Every structure is written in C-alpha cells, then in structure tokens.
C-alpha cells in the first residue's frame, strides 16, 4: 500500500507542490541516477509486478465474460515478463534523453549590466488520468522526474493492484535518494479523487486525461486547470493528381491498416478526380482484401463498381472509426481536398501523396493540423517515431504543446533578470534607454 | 458601424476561423505592409477617433460624478492627439518586429529522405476582452495580423464609440489589401456576446481576458477554451544580508512607488534580520515620505519605532494592494525569504537585492515565478521592457506562455514531415530503423 492513501487529495496535491519546489533544484545527474535505479528496481521486482497484474486480470476475467469489459481493454491490462522488461527499458530511455531543464531559450541585454535570461524550468505539478495499460505508470513517472515535476496519477480501477505495486516499487527505489522528495509521485484511488483534483487549480498546473474524447471534454468543462489532451483523430490521406500510384496505395493502406485503433490512423482517403479512375479500383480492392469496410462517395462507387462498397454519407467525413473502416471520396482539386480537411478533420495529422512539389507546399501551408505530411503515412505521428524519446500524449489543442508531446510539454520557462541596481524610473524619465540587444 | 453587428457570435467566430486559414498563408511582407497602412489610417483619421472618444468621455462624466465609475478608469478611457499618435507608432513598432511565423524550431532526419520540421505557425482565432484604454484595440489588432491570427475583440461598453471608430478605421485600411480577409478583426458588443463566445471551443483557440482576477477566474470556470490571463501580482523585494544598501532602497522604492497600480509593483519587502537594523529606518522613512502606507511585522516596527507603521497581519502577505501600501517583514534567512515567497507570492515577479552571487543563484533557482530578478526592480516585468515589442498580456499561469507575452504567445507550431513514400509497417517490422538525427 502507498503511504498516501490516508491523505485527502488536497493534502496530496499540497505535498506534491512542496515536492515540486525541491525537484526543480535537482541536477541533471541526480535526476538521471534516480531513474536508472528505478529501472533496475522494476526488473528486480518483476515477479511482484506480474503477480499483481495476474490478480487484476483474474478480477477482470468475469467482467469480460459478462461483456462489461471489452476484450481490447483486457488485452491492454495484461502485461508479461517482456512487458516489464520494456517498462524498465523505457525508463532508461527517458534517463538518456537530453536534460529539458535550464536551457537558455533566449538571452537579451536590456542595457549594460541588465541581462534577461529565458530559461526552461519544470511546470510544477501535473496530473495524469489513464486507464488499463500498466506501462503508463513508470512511463509517466519517469517523464515527470526527468523534467523535475511532481505528478499525481490516477489509473483505471481495473489495474489497481498492478499500479499499486508499481507505485511502491517506484517509491522504494526513489527513497534511496534523500534529495528526492517522497511525494514526487503519488497515486489517486477513486473517481471522487479526480473530481476533487479538478478543483485544485491553485496547486496543479496541468491535467493530462488519456481516454475518450468525451472524457477529455468532461475534464475541460469541469476544471480551471489547463488540459493537455486530444479530441478525435480524424486523419486524411489526400492522393493528388500527381501522386505516384505505388506510394499512394502503400501510404493509404499503412495509414489505415497498420493499427486502425490508433488516433493517427486515417479515416478518410481523398482522391483527385484526375487519377481516380486509374487508382481507385486497385486501392479499393486492396482495402477490401485487408478486411477493411469501404464507405465511398458515389463517384468512387461508380469507378470501382464493386457492390461491397457502402454509400458514404456526410456523417462518415466526421467519424473517427478507430476500426477497419475507411471512407473514400473523389475531389476535383487540391483546393477541394484542403477545404474538406480543414472542415471535417480534427487537426491531428493529414498527408498528401504527390510528386508535385508546389502542390505539396500548398497543402502543407494551408492544412491546419498538428502534423501535415508529404509522401508519408499518417501513422508516423507519434512521440517515439518523432524522436522525442517518450510521449506524454498527443495534443490536438493548439496552446502550450501540439501533436506528440514529450518532455518539452512538461516544461515552462522563467525569466531571470540580472542587474546592478537598476530602477524603472530611470528609464521612464528618459535618463536611460533600453538597448534590447539579443545575445542568444 | 461595423458590418458584423448583425451576425451571431457563432457566425462571427466561424468567419474569423475562415479568415484565419487565409491569414496563415500571407507572407511576412504582406502582413507588414498592411500594418503600415493601418498605422497611417489611424493618423489620418485622428480627428474622428478623438471625436468618438469625446463622446465616450462625455457619457462617462456623470458616471464618475455619481461614483459609478472610478476616476482611474475614466483617465484610462481618455485619449488625446498624442495618444492617437502613439497608437500609430505602436502599430509601426509591431510591423517592425521579426516575423514570428515559419521559423524552423527543430529539424530532425527521422531516416534517409524522411525529415521532420517543427515550424512556427499562427494559433488561429483568439479573443481578447478588455476595458477602457482605447489604445488596446489597434495594439491587439496589430499583434493579431503580425502573427497571422484572426481576433475577436470585446472592449468595455464605456469605450464603445471609440472602439467602433477604431475598428472601422482598421477595417477600411485593411480593405485595400484583397489578400487580407475582412473578418480578420471583428468586434463583439455585449456581455452576452462574451458568454456565447466562451462556448465556442471548436472555433476559438485562446481567450485573453484583461481585467480583474475574479474576471479571469470567471472566464476560466466558464469555458473549455484555453485562457491566457493573470491572477494577482503579489511581487516581492527580498533584501538579503549582503545587499548593497543604496541598491536595496532604490529597488524597493521603485518597485512600489513608480506605478503602484501595476501588477508588477511590489506588495511586500522582506528584509534579512542581519541588515534590518541598519536598513529599515531609512527604508521606512523613504516609503512614508513618498506617501506610502507601511504595514510592518513586529520586528520592523520595533526597529523603526515610528508610530505611523501599521501592524501587519497574515492577510497582508496575501494581498495585492495595487496602491501606495507596502508590507514589510523581517526574515531570518534566505531560506525563510524563499519559503515566504513560494507560499504567499503569485508567481509573477520577485527580486533579490544582494552582492552575494551564491545567494542570488539560490534565490533564482528556487523561487517559483515567471520573473526572478537579481538587483533589479520588479517593475521591469513588462513586454516592452523585455524587448518583446508589444504585449498581449502578462500570464501568471505556466502553460503555453508565461510572464509578459508578445507575438510568440500567439503562435503554435505544426510538424511537417517530408518523405518519399515511407510506411510505418516497414519500421514496425524491423526492416527499417529510425535514425533520429537532429539537423537543427
């Protein structure tokens, strides 16, 4: 059991804030060393973690049988020896990332002997609410420690045993380092805890809800705390008139079939009218062969002529299937494709397939999304693939952080001003003038 | 009258979003040219602007007499020939700022022929709610255009005539440029409009409420839209044991007296016990001579021995006076000063006066605020003084933007990925491996 179970959420958050003030002053080496120790502890305690996970799976089994828990969720809940080894490896990966703190983002000489430094620093305290997947706890805890933040974690009740053991493994490992406060990571236990947490905008700097769109919107509507989360992932593949047919088919298939439940999977393929006749029959056949249900506009159905194609309605353009279903539409121009995407898309990730550099540049400038690609699958939209090392989540909002968010999303900055006694009065009076010379 | 008065707020916001898609594609030169034209128009139409302002002042006069409007607000409402000239000058200043868009924030080769560009781009649509000050409209409109954003503006009803004329001057000037959509700037007219706006989180990317703390909190509680605003400004001057006495007195006085209503004015001076006896009598005398009410801890009152000093209570540490009132407290150590600031401060701006570099470094690392200064007045915390060119506002939150916020706070980024047909499947299968080579 964690020691924090008896605290109120407010007390937990207050302790987290105190912890954050100390975490912000740790050196890069101190943070890295603790992470490596935590990774070792995860490996050493693998049997305990697996035993706790078996308990959770045992309890979940009748829920699946009774249809109260999806098989997909059950699968995400289960871990294995390999899963535990990967947890440790990810923690080591986060330890190896470059220090996100104390970076000089800008330096300006406001005047002689009056220099302004914009320096990256931790946010303070953030909270993550997630379900199932046991690997999330060490992943988030390591991102938090690497970036000098305290974190409050609320996992799904279905993974309570696993998360409780992971939390205690983490705390024990960290307790070897007296400079690291025990309250750097703490668990919340109930839904009521989450509702309490949402009121604490004076103590918590960011909430990251990882779950359904309606859950994210619920959190946004019920808190003053800034939220980093994502709504829908309605991603598009646009096959331009100047597309290379092989690339077009490869990218469209990969974007849908490679992992259809992912938020960066494509939901709609737009095909330029000039290449529709040449391309659509093969594309539709490949989708059908891959077990994908195809919902198509009338022109597509005419060109393909396969009765298995279902007539698409406007609702299809607005739907995240998260499944082996794809919508296909013929468009008359690049403009029409861009307009469709900006109207129906969710600003997540959209790609153009074309050999025409001008069309690609136009598409990339005008599509309003966190990721805009040229000749690449939408599935690349991911923190690991982007080289961020680890992912806090993917944001479809535009403020603070956008797209796959790694350590940088857990930092803010502070302005340090170093002077020798300057007063504003002497500048207001005109006695002195600002120089504003950028030094970096 | 503006042409948008007959639209619903939702329709206005929808038009603003359409406008934003076009604004995002304008070149640096196009945006600058339009700003210079708008600046000229403000000068050319100075008489109309002043006439409208006179009407607003005339209407406000009885409100002031009846005590329903403060004299301070009335003063902020009034403009002059010089005020109008300054508006134009500020617009030119914004035109002269470096382009905040299309900057390469990072470039990474994910693999051969697969390059990821993180590029700065506009947020989209933001809204600003402000009161009185007629100069705010051209200031915000120019920040919006410089950064390729559309903006919805709601000014105080007391400045309705002035703002309406400024809006029409702006729109007329901009209408000379067919590439700039007319809906790039539009006015809201009523409080109900604001409440409607707060529901439009699908159309509006950021809300900037400029007003009281309770107003900012109201906006945060009633909208899913991210909010950039500031709560209190409880700023501190800490006079360390190793402070240069002259600098200490200059900085403490400037931080309070130079403009006490500003959010970056100091509310509390903390004095190290070791220099309290030597410093406090002169400091208190100077504050009193400047007409400042002094609320002091018991030790301060004993050391100063002036009956005009009022006994401070805990409430004083938590109060933003925004007036010629200062709280003074003796602390026993640097630690105690830092703890006081992190407990009672509002994370706005705090300064240490010391000749001890170690103490300064400790203070700057451990104080959790948007601005942490060494030997400089808290009053430097301002967009113009920081060299940002213009200020959208000061943020005391930690996400997105912190401290004085200029053009950069109106940008986000998008990831552009340029490939030659790559699919994720070939990386998942192990056929290909990511290189993640940073190019910038």
Residue A169 has pLDDT above 80, yes or no: yes
Contacting residues of A for B438, CB less than 8 Å apart: 387
pLDDT by residue (tens digit) across A382-426? Answer: 999 999 988 898 898 899 999 999 999 999 999 999 999 999 999
**B333 CA: distance to closest CA in chain A (Å):** 18
**All structural domains of chain A with their residue ranges:** 3-101+117-228+406-413, 235-380
Does A231 have pLDDT greater than 80? no
Residue B182 CA to residue B189 CA, distance in Å, equals: 18
Whether B3 has a pLDDT exceeding 80, the answer reads no
- How many helices (H) and strands (E) in chain B? 16, 17
Nearest CA in chain B to A352: B418
Grade residue B6 by pLDDT with cuts at 50, 70 and 90: low
User: Taking CB atoms and an 8 Å cutoff, what residues of chain B touch A400?
Assistant: 226, 399-400
pLDDT above 80 (res B195): yes
CA distance A404 to chain B (A): 9
CB-nearest partner of B387 from A108, A124, A370:
A108
Whole-angstrom distance, CA of residue A230 vs CA of residue A99? 26
Nearest to B94 by CA among B160, B154, B158, B28: B28
Secondary structure (3-state) at A216: helix
Give the pLDDT of residue A215: 87
- For testing contact with chain A, the best of B232, B380, B425 (most A CBs within 10 A): B380
pLDDT tens digits, one per residue of A23-44: 999 999 999 999 999 999 999 9
Fold of A3-101+117-228+406-413: Aldehyde Dehydrogenase; Chain A, domain 1 (3.40.605)
Pairing status of strand B437-438 against strand B150-154: unpaired
**pLDDT attached to residue B5:** 53
> What is the Cα B128 distance to its own chain's centre?
11
User: What proportion of chain A, given as a percentage, has pLDDT over 90?
Assistant: 87
pLDDT of B73: 85
Of the partner residues B206, B217, B342, the one whose CB lies closest to the CB of residue A399: B206
Q: Which chain A residues contact residue B250 at CB under 8 A? A: 421, 423
Contact A419 B373 (CB under 8 A): yes
Among left, alpha and beta (phi > 0; psi -120 to 50; other), residue B403 is left
> What is d(CA B59, CA B66) in angstroms, rounded to the nearest whole number?
12
May I ask the CATH class of domain B3-104+122-228+406-413? alpha beta
pLDDT band at A174 (very low <50, low <70, confident <90, very high): very high
pLDDT-based confidence at residue A5 (cuts at 50, 70, 90): low
d(CA B401, CA B9): 27
- Please state, for a pLDDT cut of 70, what percent of chain B lies above it: 99
Residue of A nearest to B428 (CA): A258
Q: What is the pLDDT of residue B390?
A: 82
Q: Which tens digits make up the pLDDT trace of A46-57?
A: 999 999 999 999
Cβ-defined contact of A201 to B220 (cutoff 8 Å) = yes
Chains A–B, number of C-beta pairs less than 8 Å apart: 227
Q: What is the pLDDT, as a whole number, of residue B7? A: 81
Task: Note whether B425 contacts A220, CB cutoff 8 Å.
Answer: no
A89-124 residues labelled b (16+ CB within 10 A) or e (exposed): ebbbbbbebebbbeeeebebbbbeebbbbbbbbbbb
In terms of C-beta density within 10 A (0-12 exposed, 13-18 middle, 19 or more buried), how is residue A335 classed?
Answer: exposed
Strand ranges (DSSP E) for B166-311?
185-187, 206-209, 235-239, 266-272, 293-296, 310-311
| Partner-chain contact A434 B226, CB within 8 Å | no
Which element (helix H / strand E) includes A39?
Answer: helix A28-44
Q: Give the pLDDT score at A410.
A: 96
pLDDT reported for residue A6: 64
What the block records as the tokens of A226 is 């800034």
Q: Would you state the structure tokens that stand for residue B292, as one six-digit string?
A: 């400042």
Nearest CA in chain A to B114: A376
Residues in chain A closer than 8 A to B403 (CB atoms) = 414-415
Of B96, B93, B196, which Cα lies nearest the Cα of B154? B196
Query: Average pLDDT over chain A, rounded to whole?
Result: 94
Q: Which residue of A has its CA nearest to B116?
A: A386
- Give the ipTM of the model, two decimals please: 0.93
What whole-number distance in Å separates Cα of residue A26 and Cα of residue A16? 15
Tens-digit pLDDT profile for residues B243-298: 999 999 999 999 999 999 899 999 999 999 999 999 999 999 999 999 999 999 99
Looking at every residue in chain B, the average pLDDT score rounds to 94
Q: Which fold has domain A235-380?
A: Aldehyde Dehydrogenase; Chain A, domain 2 (3.40.309)
Across the interface, of B201, B387, B402, the residue whose CB is closest to A434 is: B387
Which residues of chain A does B30 touch, with a Cβ-Cβ cutoff of 8 Å?
none
- Provide the 10 A C-beta neighbour count for residue A226: 25
- From B157's Cα to the closest Cα of chain A, the distance in A is 27
Pair of tokens at residue A375: 């000749």
Q: Which residues of B touch A221 (CB under 8 A)?
A: 224
Is pLDDT above 90 for A284? yes
Mean pLDDT of A323-327: 96
Of the given ranges (A6-10, A140-144, A182-186, A375-379), which has the lowest mean pLDDT? A6-10
Across the interface, whether the CB atoms of B416 and A364 are under 8 A apart is answered: yes
| Confidence grade of residue A70 (pLDDT, cut at 50, 70, 90) | confident
Q: How many other CB atoms sit within 10 Å of the CB of residue B314?
A: 8
The residue-averaged pLDDT of B72-98 equals: 94
Dihedral class, residue B314 (left if φ above 0, else alpha if ψ from -120 to 50, else beta): alpha
User: Among all chains, which residue has been given the structure tokens 């912000």?
Assistant: A24
Tell me which chain A residue has its CA closest to the CA of residue B401. Answer: A400
Pairing mode, strands A235-239 and A266-272:
parallel
Nearest to A387 among B254, B381, B436 (CB): B436
Residues present in chain A in total:
440
Rounded Cα distance, B181 and B193, in Å: 22
Distance from CA of B306 to the nearest CA of A (A): 27
To the nearest whole angstrom, how far is the Cα of A413 from the nearest Cα of chain B? 7
Residue B402: φ, ψ to 5°: -140, 145
Check residue B229 and give its pLDDT: 85
Burial of residue A23, with CB atoms counted within 10 A of its CB: 0-12 exposed, 13-18 middle, 19 or more buried: buried
Q: Closest partner residue to B402 among A342, A387, A412, by Cβ?
A: A412
pLDDT at B299: 98
Region B195-203: mean pLDDT is 95
Between A124, A381, A423, which is nearest B251 by CB?
A: A423
Name the closest residue on chain B to residue A199, using Cα atoms. Answer: B221
C-alpha dist (Å) from residue A47 to A44, A51, A53, A57, B254: 8, 6, 10, 15, 63
Question: In this complex, do B226 and A221 lie within 8 Å of one another by their Cβ atoms?
Answer: no
Closest residue of B to A356, CA-based? B420
């Amino acid at each position: 059991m964690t020691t924090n179970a008896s605290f109120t959420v407010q007390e937990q958050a207050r302790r987290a804030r105190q912890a954050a003030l100390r975490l912000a002053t740790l050196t890069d080496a101190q943070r890295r060393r603790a992470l490596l120790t935590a990774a070792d502890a995860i490996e050493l305690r693998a049997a305990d973690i697996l035993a706790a996970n078996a308990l959770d799976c045992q309890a979940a089994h009748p829920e699946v049988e009774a249809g109260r828990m999806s098989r997909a969720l059950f699968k995400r809940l289960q871990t294995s020896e390999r899963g535990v080894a990967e947890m440790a490896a990810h923690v080591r990966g986060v330890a190896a990332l470059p220090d996100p703190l104390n970076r000089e983002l800008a330096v300006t000489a406001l005047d002689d002997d009056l220099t302004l430094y914009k320096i990256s620093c931790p946010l303070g305290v953030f909270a993550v609410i997630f379900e199932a997947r046991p690997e999330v706890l060490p992943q988030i805890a390591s991102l938090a420690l690497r970036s000098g933040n305290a974190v409050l974690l609320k996992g799904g009740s279905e993974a309570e045993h696993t998360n409780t053991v992971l939390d205690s493994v983490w705390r024990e490992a960290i307790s070897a380092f007296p400079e690291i406060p025990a309250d750097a990571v703490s668990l919340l236990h109930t839904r009521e805890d989450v509702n309490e947490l949402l009121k604490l905008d004076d103590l918590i700097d960011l909430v990251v809800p990882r779950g359904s769109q309606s859950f994210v919107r619920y959190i946004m509507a019920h808190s003053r705390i800034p939220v980093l989360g994502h709504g829908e992932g309605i991603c598009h593949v646009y096959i331009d008139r100047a597309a290379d047919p092989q690339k077009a088919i490869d990218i469209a298939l990969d974007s849908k079939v490679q992992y259809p439940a992912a938020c960066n999977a494509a939901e709609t393929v737009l095909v330029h009218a000039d290449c529709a006749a040449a391309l659509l029959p093969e594309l539709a056949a490949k989708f059908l062969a891959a077990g994908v249900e195809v919902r198509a506009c009338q022109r597509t159905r005419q060109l393909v002529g396969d009765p298995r194609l279902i007539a698409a309605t406007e609702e299809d353009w607005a739907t995240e299937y998260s499944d082996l279903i794809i919508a296909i539409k013929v468009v008359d121009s690049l403009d029409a494709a861009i307009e469709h995407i900006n109207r129906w898309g969710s600003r997540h990730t959209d790609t153009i397939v074309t050999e025409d550099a001008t069309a690609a540049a136009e598409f990339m400038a005008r599509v309003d999304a966190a990721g805009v690609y040229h000749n690449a699958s939408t599935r690349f939209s991911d923190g690991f693939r982007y080289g961020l090392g680890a992912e806090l989540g993917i944001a479809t909002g535009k403020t603070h952080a956008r797209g796959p968010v790694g350590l940088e999303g857990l930092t803010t900055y502070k302005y340090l001003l170093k002077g020798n006694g300057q007063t504003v009065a002497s500048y207001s009076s005109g006695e002195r003038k600002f120089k504003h010379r950028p030094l970096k």
